[in-house]
């Protein structure tokens, strides 16, 4: 399987790995194997160099200046917005709001879209596999308004029960919010069908794309979603920058979330006239260099082609899954038929934190814990899992090393 799947000429893995300086170091005397990509990914030199070069030459505050540096910084900031628009295939740049990350994007929609509309007895519908970021913001606003948070169930493979989801939609549902891809299980949800079902009732859909964007091509118009949120730092870009995509009509109808500079057209002590989209939602000095860095990350991915990345990661996941299934006492948590490059597992009688610590001594970085998805852990009746999450730079050899280290752990602790 490995020999046929590798296709070294089709996928330039060596050249890709050469782009990521952080991968070329030792941890505890062993070559680093970085498999914590669902938490955050490493950065290619194209992103690192863009940040350094931007700060060295073009940095200034954006939009407000008439001087050359401000104009250059503004042009690059807005070019990054255009890169995001292209990446998501949004209709227009005005639909791309820069925020700090997925969490902030979801809170923005909860506070600015939901809060003014929710009344006692209304409902917000999420799924059973959401990250805390796509649970707590809805809880906050539902509690305040006397609305209910409804949860569409999943099955034992970690797949959303679409028929039950459809049953939960009704005249009282104000919004649906679902993960495109689960960070704890890897499940890829049928977002297009979810949107179509919700739209039958006129209900808008927010898609949490934090995990999906690094792994598969996303087209917000083809999906039909109303809002789409993601973070730059999981997409090989900087921290502190993320995106909320929203359909123009919805964003237009929403009040600003935060007040301050940038989001205004005219201010008097009596009243404020707000700025146009997307600036209405971008109060204060934005994360300028980080946005430019995100643009560089997107260009990097566009050069590689997300289809090629997706193919590589799917092959790697299939290889890792087959190997993991050969290990006695290893249980995979999350076996959806449509799944991204995440392998969550438990080892019989060994706590995931011990697994994580042990693997670190082999230079292997994984995540052990509840992955900010405690309800998912409750559902599978485990306190935590160990999660290996793959990225475009991971290799078959790294999977082999992971599996060999797991065998060692079982020998030592099992």
Interface with ligand PLP by CB under 6 A: which residues?
101-103, 131, 133-134, 179, 183, 208, 210-211, 231, 372
Which secondary structure element, helix H or strand E, spans residue 205, and what is its range? strand 205-208
Half-sphere exposure (Cβ direction) of 148: Cα atoms closer than 13 Å = 11
> Smallest distance, Å, CB 229 to ligand PLP?
8
Q: Judged by CB, which is closer to ligand PLP: 63, or 131?
A: 131
> Smallest distance, Å, CB 183 to ligand PLP?
3
Q: Judged by CB, which is closer to ligand PLP: 122, or 130?
A: 130
Query: For residues 391 and 214, is the Cβ–Cβ distance under 8 A?
Result: yes
- Residue 187 is given by DSSP the state B
Catalytic site includes residue 372: yes
The active-site residue, picked from 114, 142, 225, 372, is 372
> Smallest distance, Å, CB 177 to ligand PLP?
10
How far apart CA 308 and CA 301 sit, in angstroms, is 10
> Smallest distance, Å, CB 273 to ligand PLP?
31
Angle among Cα 357, 359, 361 to the nearest 5 degrees reads: 75
> Smallest distance, Å, CB 289 to ligand PLP?
18
> Smallest distance, Å, CB 1 to ligand PLP?
29
> Smallest distance, Å, CB 14 to ligand PLP?
29
* C-alpha pair distances (Å), 374 with each of 83, 102, 330: 35, 18, 21
* C-alpha pair distances (Å), 324 with each of 328, 335, 343, 390, 404: 9, 12, 9, 14, 10
Query: For residues 52 and 384, is the Cβ–Cβ distance under 8 A?
Result: no
Q: Which residues contact 219 (CB under 8 A, 6 or more apart)?
A: 88, 89
Query: For residues 95 and 278, is the Cβ–Cβ distance under 8 A?
Result: yes
Q: Judged by CB, which is closer to ligand PLP: 310, or 408?
A: 310
Listing DSSP states for 366-396 in one string gives -EEE-TT-HHHHHHTT-S-EEEEE--TT--H
Q: Judged by CB, which is closer to ligand PLP: 244, or 406?
A: 244
User: The tokens of 116 are what?
Assistant: 């003014």
Q: Judged by CB, which is closer to ligand PLP: 131, or 174?
A: 131
Q: Judged by CB, which is closer to ligand PLP: 50, or 183?
A: 183
The number of helix segments (H) and strand segments (E) in the chain equals 16, 17
Q: What is the C-alpha radius of gyration for the chain, rounded to an integer number of angstroms?
A: 22
> Smallest distance, Å, CB 396 to ligand PLP?
25
User: The tokens of 174 are what?
Assistant: 């104000």
How far apart CA 134 and CA 268 sit, in angstroms, is 37
Query: For residues 228 and 220, is the Cβ–Cβ distance under 8 A?
Result: yes
Q: Judged by CB, which is closer to ligand PLP: 220, or 330?
A: 220
Helical spans, DSSP H, in 202-260: 220-223, 248-253
Q: Judged by CB, which is closer to ligand PLP: 102, or 385?
A: 102
Positions annotated as catalytic residues are 372
């Amino acid at each position: 399987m490995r020999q046929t799947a590798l296709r070294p000429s089709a996928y330039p893995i060596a050249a890709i790995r050469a782009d990521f300086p952080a991968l070329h170091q030792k941890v505890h005397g062993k070559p680093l194997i970085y498999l914590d990509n669902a938490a955050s990914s490493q950065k290619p030199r194209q992103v690192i160099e863009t940040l350094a070069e931007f700060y060295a030459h073009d940095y200034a505050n954006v939009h407000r200046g008439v001087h050359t540096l401000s104009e250059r910084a503004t042009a690059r900031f807005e070019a990054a917005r255009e890169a995001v628009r292209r990446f998501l295939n949004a209709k227009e740049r005005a639909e791309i709001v820069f925020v700090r990350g997925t969490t902030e994007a979801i809170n923005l929609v909860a506070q600015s879209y939901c809060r003014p509309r929710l009344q006692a007895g209304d409902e917000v519908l999420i799924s059973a596999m959401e990250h805390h970021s796509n649970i707590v913001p809805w809880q906050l606003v539902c509690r305040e308004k006397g609305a209910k948070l409804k949860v569409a169930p999943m099955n034992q493979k970690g797949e959303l029960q679409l028929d039950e989801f459809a049953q939960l939609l009704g005249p009282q549902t104000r919004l649906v919010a679902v993960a495109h891809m689960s960070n704890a299980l890897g499940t890829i949800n049928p977002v297009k069908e979810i949107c179509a079902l919700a739209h039958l009732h006129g209900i808008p859909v927010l898609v949490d794309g934090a995990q999906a964007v690094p792994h598969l091509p996303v087209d917000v118009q083809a999906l039909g979603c109303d809002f789409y949120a993601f973070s730059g730092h999981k997409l090989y870009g900087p921290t502190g920058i993320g995106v909320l995509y929203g359909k123009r009509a919805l964003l237009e109808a929403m009040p600003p979330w935060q007040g301050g500079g940038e989001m205004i057209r005219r201010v008097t002590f009596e009243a404020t006239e707000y700025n146009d989209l997307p600036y209405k939602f971008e109060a204060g000095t934005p994360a300028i260099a980080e946005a430019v860095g995100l643009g560089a990350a997107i260009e990097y991915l566009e050069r590689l082609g997300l289809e090629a990345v997706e193919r590589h990661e799917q092959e790697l996941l299939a290889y890792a899954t087959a190997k993991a299934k050969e290990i006695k006492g290893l249980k995979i948590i999350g076996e959806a038929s449509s799944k991204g490059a995440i392998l969550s597992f438990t080892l019989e009688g060994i706590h995931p934190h011990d697994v994580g610590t042990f693997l670190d001594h082999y230079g292997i970085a994984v995540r052990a814990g509840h992955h900010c998805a405690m309800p998912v852990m409750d559902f599978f009746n485990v306190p935590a899992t160990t999660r290996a999450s793959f990225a475009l730079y991971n290799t078959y050899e790294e999977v082999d090393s992971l599996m060999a280290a797991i065998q060692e752990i079982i020998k030592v602790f099992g």
